[in-house]
Structures are given as structure tokens and as C-alpha cells.
Chain A
Amino acid sequence: MAEAEENIRFHEMFHIEGGNFTNAGAISSRVKKILKEAGFPGKIIRRTSIAAFEAEMNVICYANQGNLSLLIAPNFLKVVVKDEGIGIPDVKLAMREGYSTANEKIRELGFGAGMGLSNIKKNTDEMILTSTSGQGTHLEFIIYLDRQETQPPFE
């Protein structure tokens, strides 16, 4: 995916606790703050923090625990989210908007609309999602810093 890791000029990893809804959104708001302080344009910040929020919520809703890493390179931002948990048995199906395996508790909180992964896809330029059922999920997405005038391509 994209460019060599040696171009990374900032890297921070955050821990996400599965099932803890009280602080939900805390990681993505820290990501947002970091990007704001670094002086990135509003659109870049918005797209990245929306995708990070959805990824964070997925770990909280479905996994035991996970990590979200933010990497800043000269030409792109990259977020890597790895979790340990039930995983996604059918990634293609999970990507379909409206499809959700959320339980009643998650839905009552207003999550589990089946829009999280497609929100990530819409707000990023590249997205890779892999999962081993019963073990966990690995998500990576990239937002290019020099491609903001055009809409990201849809596959």
C-alpha cells in the first residue's frame, strides 16, 4: 500500500478497549486534535477523523481490544486499526451499506446502522480490510494530501 514506511514523519498508537462505550470517540477526537495542531486543511481533518471515528466504534462494538495508529507522511495520512475479537466472517458482505451484525444493545445506542465501513470507504482514498473469523480484523486506510480537489474513486 502506497509509499515506503521510511517517509513516515509522525507515528502514534492508541489503545482501544472493546465494549467501553463511555469514552467512545476519544481516540478519533485525539486524532482530530493532532491533525488540527499540525495545520492540515479542514477537509483532510474531517475525512480522516470521520473514518477514524467509525473504525474506533467498530473496535468498541465488536472486538475485545485493538490499536489505532496514525501515521503522517509528506504526501498522505495513514491509519491502521488492528483488533482482537470475533472478526468479520464475510468482508464483502460487511462492506455493503445497511448490512449489520450489531446486537440490540449496540443498536439502542444508535450504532449498528451498517454504514460504518462504507463511511470509511467514502472518506478515504485507499482502504484495505482483512479479517480472520474468530481472531480479529485489520483495517488500513490512506488519505492523500494532494488529491483533495477530486472525489476519491469508488471501486
Chain B
Amino acid sequence: MTVFDIVKIFGLQMRAGKDRLHEEVTGGYASDLLSDVIAHSHKGNVWITIQTHPNIVAVAAMKELAGIILTGGREPDAETVQKAEEEGIPLLVSPLFTFELVGKLYQAGISGMNPC
């Protein structure tokens, strides 16, 4: 499943990184603590969070994540959108809260277990 598939299936709004939607998603991670994401996410994961500031892009770029999904209808800061465009990180928004969205992603086959 690619980021584009996730966008289509779950009706996510795109805010940045439209050119990188073809990337294969290896799994998912949900957390709002950046060090926790750094420690436990894996390359190619989608990251589900309520954090909206530019530092989330730095974390996603460093961990080579497939994209960031903001939940609860939260909108990214303008600097976050700009940074995500620069770094080529898909930045997506869902009206659902984290628990609900993660449940749906899991049902669709996105796992939190590391495939490698």
C-alpha cells in the first residue's frame, strides 16, 4: 500500500509533499512525543500525531518516514507546510481522532510491527 492509497481510502487532505505519494508504506507509528517516534518508528512508516509544528518534519525526514498524518482535523503550521515541501515529506490531515484513524489503518493492513 502506498501513501497515495491511504490518502484515497481514508479521504485525507493533502497539505504538502504531493510528489512523494507513491512511496510504499512499511507500517505505522502513533505518538506525540518526538523522541519516542525517533526511537521506535521505522523507515517508510506513516506517523500519526497531533503535533503540528515544524519539528515533526525534521523527525520524519531524519527517520525517512513515508508521511505524517495529523489527526483530529488539526492543521499544520505554515512553517511546517513549507518545511515539508522542502524536505519532500507528505503531510496529510484527517478529521478523525488518532484512535479511530489508527484502527482503520490497521484494518486496512498497516501494521505497527517492524517488517524487517
Contact = CB atoms under 8 A, between A and B. Distances in A.
B52 to A, nearest CB: 10
A25 B39 contact: no
Interface of chain B: mostly helix, strand, loop or mixed:
helix
Interface of chain A: mostly helix, strand, loop or mixed:
helix
A119 interface: yes
A113 B38 CA distance: 11
Contact of A110 (B51, B57, B63): B51
A54 B79 contact: no
Interface residues of B, number: 20
Contacts of A109: 34, 51, 53, 55
Interface size class of A (residues with CB under 8 A): 20 to 34
B69 to A, nearest CB: 15
Nearest to B56: A110
Contacts of B56: 110
Residue from B54, B55, B59 having most chain A Cβ neighbours under 10 A: B55
A32 B62 contact: yes
Contact of B58 (A25, A115, A119, A122): A25
A150 interface: no
B62 A115 contact: no
A137 interface: no
A25 B56 CA distance: 9
* 9 closest Cβ pairs, A-B complex: A25-B58, A115-B35, A113-B33, A110-B34, A113-B35, A110-B51, A24-B55, A110-B32, A119-B39
Given A29-B58, A53-B62, A111-B35, 19 more contacts: A21-B55, A22-B79, A25-B58, A25-B59, A25-B62, A26-B58, A28-B58, A28-B62, A29-B61, A54-B38, A57-B34, A109-B34, A109-B51, A110-B32, A111-B55, A113-B33, A115-B35, A115-B39, A122-B39
Interface of A: 21-22, 24-26, 28-29, 32, 49-50, 53-54, 57, 109-111, 113-116, 119, 122
Interface of B: 32-36, 38-39, 49, 51, 53-59, 61-63, 79
